[in-house]
Structure 1
Amino acid sequence: MVTAQPGSKSPYLLLSALLISEALLVTGYGLQLMLLPIRGGIEGFSAVDLGLLGSSYYLGFVIGCLLTPVLLSRVGHTRTFAALVSITAAVAICYPMLVHPQFWALLRLLTGICLAGLYLIIESWINDRATSSTRGTMISIYVAINYIATAAGQMMVTLYDASSFLLFSVASILISLAVVPLALSRSPAPQPPILVRVRPFRLFSLSPAGTASIFLIGLSNGALWSLGPVFAFAKTGDLTSAAQFMSVVVLGGAIAQWPLGKLSDHLDRRHVLMAITLAAALAGVTVALLPQLGGPWLIFALLFGATVLPSYAVASAHVFDVADRSDYVQVSAGLLLLYGAGSTLGPILASFGMQWFGPAALAGFMAIVQLGIVGFVFARMRLNKLQVVGEKQSFDLVSTTPMAPAGIGSPQADAVP
């Protein structure tokens, strides 16, 4: 395939169609992300059933990380994107056709496979068009669109009755439309990827603190994304307030992601990681204990999002600090798979706590996990002094966000610091 020459056209213009497609896709999925646990609760699903939905998605995400590079190498980025969008849209409309936990779990598994592939394609495309002088800005725009579109989609759950068919239709329509801008774009697709072997468990010998933290962050964040709407709805009894809670959490992460990453460039990342995970534990428990929705509750929700969501970025940047540049592709893939494995287990474990002790157990589960990160990182710091390979790598969102499988099969992945 032909790759556009840098400077022939503005890279932002070349990527405008892709980013519009991304916005439509993530808005539709953000609506679905909020709608499913709410509708499941209305239909009488247990907390364990709802946890199974989240775990099924992340299991699919891990599978998608492994399968998508094979598809890309065979049929290319554009055809794979169109196929995965079509499947995701079709799945989105199937939920109200058969309201059953096991059937929904299967649909979530398929969604996870497709979303992993779609995120991979978007990041590969951005990497292919970016230069060293534009990559940071382009990735920042990409991350901002993800957060804003997710928050917007979550708020759309208030448009119609959650027990009706309409919200599923809206989500499917938005996801379906995501294929249009990219299909009509004249921007050349990236070269097919070079497949790499993924060995996530070898990362533990490279950076025990960073690797274990990634897995534990997956446990915590997977539970948040899957069961956070259930907790918020049980806390408030109001769908609009529950949507506001999740949107505020997401916006908190969007606001803090870049500043905390830059702060970790100037301090030992392990100190930053311990500080934000400790703050996340305290903020999460406070959110659970505050009796009523209001200004203080949303402020702590904002602080919770601002500390819990950027932790993946800081932990993965720490691993990159001690990795050799030639191993960056494998490191990116391995970290994402470990995060996905943790996210597969997290919703199930948290759902048992919610089943036995009530919705507030979600905050307790996440606090325990966050404190586990603090304890493990502190123990590792006492045992070993950090040995950075070469110069400390600057914080870079392209390789430090769990939103997409950064670097897996990306033709430009080895150029990312």
Structure 2
Amino acid sequence: MAESQSIPEPPPFVSVAALLMSVAFLVTGNGLQMMLLPIRGGIEGFSALQLGLMGSGYYLGFVLGCLRTPLLLRRVGHVRTFAALVAIASAVALIYPMLVHPLAWAVLRLITGFCLAGLYLIVESWINDRATRETRGALISTYVAINYIVTTLGQMTVTLFETSSFVLFSLASVLVSVAAVPLALSRSPEPKPPELVRFRPLHLFQLSPAGTVSIFLIGLGTGALWSLGPVFAAARSGNVTSAALFMSVLVLGGALAQWPIGRLSDSLDRRYVLMGVTAAAALACLAIAMLPDLGGPWLVFAFAFGATILPAYAVASAHVFDFADRAEYVEVSAGLLLLYGLGSTIGPALASFGMQWFGPVGLLGFIAGVQVAIIAFVALRMTRRKGLPEADKQSFDLVATAPVVTAGAGPPD
């Protein structure tokens, strides 16, 4: 009887190719839902408050998913947990048009948020497990780039069919379902379950009050933007295509600005950079609010808005990491993600009140107000603590500071 031979382990990039394919399908389907649901909710007559509660439900589910998924992984492993969460998320996408009620949709969004948090955690912990010191940065950068690209693709997919039909919900379900196939057929060995880390917000605040409070406030603003931005854009433009373009160009601006703004913060006091990008985001908010409709130079303003509001998380979290020990990077990154998620849970509900009182432009007023609050708090903290010398800073690390990569990421080698 021939002696069995073990299959040689593939190189890191080959071993995660299936994971990256799964990510591409998963995030495309989620991007489609994030664009479709607020617009379809508006068509169904949902109020701004009800749409805001849907967004809050999603981020509450995301926070719960970050907390509970590690326990599932320890019980049944990565592949079974991934398959179960994909099946639930795919089924939920089909229930929306069958059960058109704002409270039901809020609950469904909570379930989706829980599933997506778990799926992200599984993929990210798997990628980090397969990465080496030489390949980790390139792998994570590729992962982040795929997230941005396919989010944009998913948002634009909403223009292919009528938002009042069942087709787009079916398409979202298909994309999420197909995400299970590459990972399930992958030969890459399962990683160990991620660490169970403590959530100590007081410890984070003691490390960096400016960075920690800013992360929570950034969650307020960006959570409102992701949840209600499509509603604002559809109301201002009057058509789904322009609304999808608005959100897609915004994401593109954030993707292109992430790295250069992060590197700029290496050579300056990160708090100055944070105040600069939030001030620019507030000005972009006001400029967009003053446009009579989404015409003329609106794409330029959308790009500038995304290029300033989206990189703020990375700058603020990098400031916290400057004061953290490398041994506690996992705890810090997970804690910041949870703070961001808590802010994102509250933000859509608060912003929806502004939209009810002042119309769609109330969203921009709320986001601009959050940016001003960040500037005020960081400026106050700068009177209490001097900035770190450049030599004492940690180099800007997209792996640690990008919000889509924190769960499951271990400390750099």
> What TM-score, normalized to structure 2?
0.96
Equivalence for 2:160: 159
Equivalence for 2:359: 358
Q: Map residues 236-275 of structure 1 onto 2, 5 A cutoff.
A: 236-275=237-276
Question: Equivalents in 2 of 1:134, 1:302: separation in Å?
Answer: 31
Question: Equivalents in 2 of 1:13, 1:331: separation in Å?
Answer: 30
Shift, 1:195, TM fit: 1.6
Question: Equivalents in 2 of 1:194, 1:353: separation in Å?
Answer: 40
SS in 1 for 2:158: helix
Equivalence for 1:305: 306
Question: Equivalents in 2 of 1:24, 1:300: separation in Å?
Answer: 29
> Which whole-Å deviations, capped at 9, do the CAs of 1:266-305 have from their partners, x for residues lacking one?
2211111111010011011111211233351110100100
Shift, 1:389, TM fit: 12
Shift, 1:61, TM fit: 0.6
Contact 2:269–2:388, Cα closer than 8 Å, also in 1: no
Equivalence for 1:136: 137
Contact 1:214–1:335, Cα closer than 8 Å, also in 2: yes
Contact 1:223–1:350, Cα closer than 8 Å, also in 2: yes
Shift, 1:20, TM fit: 0.5
SS in 2 for 1:159: coil
Equivalence for 1:414: 411
Question: Equivalents in 2 of 1:134, 1:203: separation in Å?
Answer: 29
Tell me if 1:104 matches 2:105: yes
SS in 2 for 1:93: helix
Equivalence for 1:367: 368
Tell me the amino acid that sits aligned with residue 412 of structure 2. A
Question: Equivalents in 2 of 1:201, 1:101: separation in Å?
Answer: 36
Shift, 1:10, TM fit: 2.5
Q: Unaligned 5+ residue runs, structure 2?
A: 1-5
> Which whole-Å deviations, capped at 9, do the CAs of 1:211-232 have from their partners, x for residues lacking one?
0000000000000000000000
Question: Equivalents in 2 of 1:8, 1:395: separation in Å?
Answer: 32
Question: Equivalents in 1 of 2:302, 2:412: separation in Å?
Answer: 37
Shift, 1:259, TM fit: 1.1
Tell me the amino acid that sits aligned with residue 116 of structure 2. L
Q: Map residues 356-395 of structure 1 onto 2, 5 A cutoff.
A: 356-386=357-387, 391-395=392-396
> Which whole-Å deviations, capped at 9, do the CAs of 1:95-149 have from their partners, x for residues lacking one?
0011000000000000111111111111111111112221111111111111110
From the superposition, tell whether residues 388 and 211 of structure 1 become closer, same or farther in structure 2 (CA, over 3 Å). farther
Tell me the amino acid that sits aligned with residue 58 of structure 2. Y
Contact 2:334–2:407, Cα closer than 8 Å, also in 1: yes
Question: Equivalents in 2 of 1:290, 1:51: separation in Å?
Answer: 23
Equivalence for 1:235: 236
From the superposition, tell whether residues 266 and 389 of structure 1 become closer, same or farther in structure 2 (CA, over 3 Å). closer
Shift, 1:194, TM fit: 2.8
Equivalence for 2:295: 294
> What TM-score, normalized to structure 1?
0.95
SS in 2 for 1:59: helix
Shift, 1:192, TM fit: 1.9
Question: Equivalents in 2 of 1:215, 1:305: separation in Å?
Answer: 18
Question: Equivalents in 1 of 2:391, 2:253: separation in Å?
Answer: 33
Tell me if 1:335 matches 2:332: no
SS in 1 for 2:395: coil
The root-mean-square deviation of aligned C-alpha atoms, in Å, is 1.7
SS in 2 for 1:415: coil
Q: Unaligned 5+ residue runs, structure 1?
A: none
Contact 2:268–2:390, Cα closer than 8 Å, also in 1: no
Question: Equivalents in 2 of 1:115, 1:200: separation in Å?
Answer: 23
Contact 1:322–1:388, Cα closer than 8 Å, also in 2: no
Tell me if 1:75 matches 2:76: yes
